[in-house]
A and B are shown apart, each in its own frame.
Chain A
Amino acid sequence: MSKIFEIRWHGRGGQGAKTAALLFGESAMSTGKYFQAFPEYGPERMGAPVQAFNRLSDSPIILHCGIKEPDVVVVLDPTLLGSQPIMSGLKAEGAIIVNTTMDPKVLYNELGVTTQKVFTVDASGISRAILGRDLPNTPLLGALTKVLGIMTLDDLLSDIKKRLHKKFSDEVVEKNIQSIKKAYEEVQPQSVRSK
């Protein structure tokens, strides 16, 4: 059995954490991978903290339990940092991607990072500039693709294009593609360590 990559998405109801997990899983499938994408279900309210999950592997995935020790955590909303168990179970060699412009030092302190890699990208800023709205989920797909490194940006884009075309106009699809590309380019590792 091949390695299973496990991802946890933290967002707020309405930000598209579940959609991001579904899109990422489907894109991985288009490259021949097996996947699971599932949200954590509870009371669903706009703005309330929500989680969504992915499992990705080269072989069939038969685990049907929750994800407790993810390889990557993606944070759609930096205001969740203080109140949600963002770092919970994140593997020691794992990575966290945060949609923020926060000073890395402050971010490290806020998260309580030990050995994990920290990446930031201004996904909301990118989305506002290109789409004119704060929809951080699609740009974060680009950032995650770069950090995880199990599929190429082209793989992601060609699949996302197909899926978004079913729902949106050419213009909206193109802007989403641009914002994914930009986040892919701009996502940065942060190297400050808090002691």
Chain B
Amino acid sequence: MKIRALTGNEAMAEAMRQINPDVVAAYPITPATEVVQIFASFVANGLVDTEFIPVESEHSALSACIGAAAAGARVITSTSSQGLALMHEVLFIAAGLRAPIVICEVNRSISSPINIHCDHSDTMGSREAGWVQIYAEDAQEAYDLTIQAIKIAEEIFLPVMVSTDGFIISHCMQRVEVMEDKEVQEIIGVHRSPYSLFDKPITIGPLDLQDYFFEHKRQQIEVMNQSLPVIEKVMSEFNARFNRTYSIFKTYKIEDAEQVVVLCGSTCGTARVAIDKMREKGIKVGLVKLHIIRPFPHKELIELLKSFKLITVLDRSDTMSTMGGPIYVELRSAMYGCSQHPTIVDYIYGLGGRDIDVEQIMEVLLNGEEIIKQKKVATPIGYIGLRE
């Protein structure tokens, strides 16, 4: 293990170098540009064996990745925001074809208005595409989870995207523990595709009409269903080997909590500082950091969250359904099937890179205390740090 100073983008590029994919096809976009740029320099300097395909758009990038994955290759690409949006139709094709591609995604808002900074609108807008979605809190997690993502993808033959918060993490340098190349190769193993175009040619992606399309989609739902135990297995293997503590979600000080905050991404760290400060005041609050948004771990979350008095969701995007942010909408839907019904409220924060600090989160937690006391919710959906 080496201690290195890396940004989120450098950490993802370093993980890609150690994975040494067969094919990378990519098109640059802020703030993910560096991931591709740094990786391209690895290719130019002969540090990887990768066939690097510079393409003319993100649509082509992911299309080229699908072709390579169909041929049995280990494949990674990287994008952000509008780039992911331009990939949108191809995302569904990758998932439907069970192409084990990994996207190193850097979260950025979606136009318009145009903005280059972080929110989760891009990846949250791809929730229905059939990809496993993993969210990282910092550069260390971006590195670790990229390595786990390739293993998850290749074990269950599903595409996986790993996200970091644009600029906040992608361009923030920090101390990162980097494994030896050999260790990374040992944990990810050799990629073996059951259908490689080279040795057993088959037809991939033929017309599939009323007779079988439905069955194939049902199978896709089923593999999503079966992916959680595989994700957990890969995480625990990684944990055992590298002394980490990854799980589908991670709890913080929830044991005796009355109110629990649920969120994902870089704000989890800032929120844990807020939790500590509230605890100093004797207020019983805890936190759940979501790593996996797809598949949504509803059964596990119900079990975990059912007995708290209040669940405060923080969403860095909105669904435009007028029902709040995506984590809130999905968590509330999940909790409906549970006999105990904790109160759930939602706060939208940080759109377009708006900063969110410890004091703002403490204020939200104090509002939560008031809700618990009054047993009444005035407005279930709020906004943090917004001028109104």
Inter-subunit contact B174/A61 (CB<8 Å)? yes
| Chain B residues within 8 Å of A164, by CB | none
| A residues less than 8 Å from B272 (CB atoms) | 62
Of all chain B residues, which has the CB nearest A62? B269
What residue in chain B is nearest A21 (Cβ atoms)? Answer: B173
Question: Which chain B residues in 1-51 approach chain A with CB under 8 Å?
Answer: 3, 5, 31
Rounded to whole angstroms, the CA-CA distance of A138 and B361 in the bound complex is: 37
Report the separation of the CA atoms of residues A39 and B168 in the bound assembly, to the nearest whole angstrom: 10
Q: Report whether B5 and A66 are in contact in the complex, using a CB–CB cutoff of 8 Å.
A: no
Closest B residue to A22 using CB positions: B173
| Chain A binder among B56-64, B121-129, B337-345, B352-360 | B352-360
Bound Cα distance A29, B3 (Å): 9
Flag if A65 contacts B356 (CB, 8 Å).
yes
Chain B residues with CB under 8 Å of A1's CB are: 276
A131 interface residue, CB < 8 Å from B? no
Q: Check A64 against B358 for contact (C-beta < 8 Å).
A: no
Chain A residues with CB under 8 Å of B174's CB are: 34-37, 61
Q: Is B319 an interface residue (CB 8 A)?
A: no
Find out whether the CB atom of B172 lies under 8 angstroms from the CB atom of A41.
no
Contact residues in B for A62 (Cβ distance below 8 Å): 137-138, 269-270, 272-273
CA distance A39 to B34 in the complex (A): 15
| Max chain A Cβ within 10 angstroms of own Cβ: one of B116, B117, B173 | B173
A61 to B355, CA, bound (A): 17
Q: Is A46 an interface residue (CB 8 A)?
A: no
**Residue A26 lies at the interface, judged by CB distance under 8 Å to chain B:** yes
Pairwise interchain contact B358-A65, C-beta atoms closer than 8 A: yes
Interface residues in B263-284 by Cβ distance below 8 A to A read: 266-267, 269-270, 272-273, 276
Taking a contact as CB atoms under 8 Å apart, the answer to whether A38 and B172 are in contact is yes
Whether A34 and B175, one on each chain, are in contact in the complex, defined by CB atoms closer than 8 angstroms, is: yes
Q: Which of B128-163 contact A (CB under 8 A)?
A: 137-138
List of A residues within 8 angstroms of B357 by Cβ: 65-66, 68
Contacting B168 at CB < 8 Å: which of A25, A29, A35, A64? A64
Query: Would you call B306 an interface residue if the criterion is a C-beta within 8 Å of the partner chain's C-beta atoms?
Result: no
Cα separation A90 to B240 with both chains bound (whole Å): 44
- Contact across chains for A39 and B171 when beta carbons are under 8 A apart: yes
Residue of B nearest to A53 (CB): B172
B165, CB-defined interface residue at 8 Å: yes
Report the contact-size class of chain B (Cβ under 8 Å from the partner): 20 to 34
From residue A150, how far is it (CB to closest CB) to chain B in Å?
Answer: 15
For residue A63, CB closer than 8 A to chain B, the reply is yes
Complex CA gap A22/B4 in Å reads 12
Contacts of A63 in B (CB 8 A): 269-270, 273, 358
Q: Which residues of B contact A64 (CB under 8 A)?
A: 137-138, 165, 168-169, 172, 266-267, 269-270
A190 to B231, CA, bound (A): 59
Mask for A56-86, Cβ within 8 A of B = 1, else 0? Answer: 0000011111101000000000000000000
In the complex, how many angstroms separate the beta carbon of A146 from the nearest chain B beta carbon?
22
Closest to B276 in A: A1
**A26/B5 contact (C-beta < 8 A), A35-B175, A36-B173, A64-B138 known:** yes
Docked Cα-Cα span, A37 to B174, in Å, equals 7
B:343-372 near A, CB below 8 Å: 355-358
B167: interface (CB < 8 Å): yes
| Closest chain A residue to B360, Cβ basis | A65
Min C-beta distance of A120 to chain B, whole Å: 28
| Residues of the B chain whose Cβ atoms lie less than 8 Å from the Cβ of A37 | 5, 172-174
Complex CA–CA separation, A1 to B173 (angstroms) = 20
CB-CB contacts below 8 Å: B96-121 with A: 116-117
User: Considering residues A26, A29, A62, A66, which has the most beta carbons from chain B within 10 angstroms of its beta carbon?
Assistant: A62
Q: 1/0 per position for A11-47, CB-CB distance to B under 8 A?
A: 0000000000010011001000011111101000000
Is the pair B267, A41 in contact by a Cβ cutoff of 8 Å? no
Chain B positions within 8 Å of A26 at CB level? 5, 173
- A36 and B5: CB pair below 8 A? no
Cα–Cα distance between A1 and B137 once the two chains are bound (Å): 19
* 13 pairs of residues in contact across A and B, judged by CB atoms under 8 Å: A29-B3, A29-B5, A29-B175, A37-B173, A38-B167, A41-B31, A41-B117, A41-B171, A62-B269, A62-B272, A64-B165, A64-B172, A64-B266
Shortest beta-carbon contacts, A-B, top 10: A62-B269, A64-B266, A38-B172, A65-B357, A37-B173, A26-B5, A66-B355, A65-B270, A64-B269, A64-B270
Which residues in A have some Cβ–Cβ distance to B below 8 Å?
A: 1, 22, 25-26, 29, 34-39, 41, 61-66, 68
Q: A37-B172, A65-B355 are in contact. List 12 more A-B contacts (CB 8 A).
A: A22-B173, A26-B173, A29-B175, A35-B174, A35-B175, A38-B168, A38-B171, A38-B173, A41-B116, A41-B167, A41-B171, A63-B358
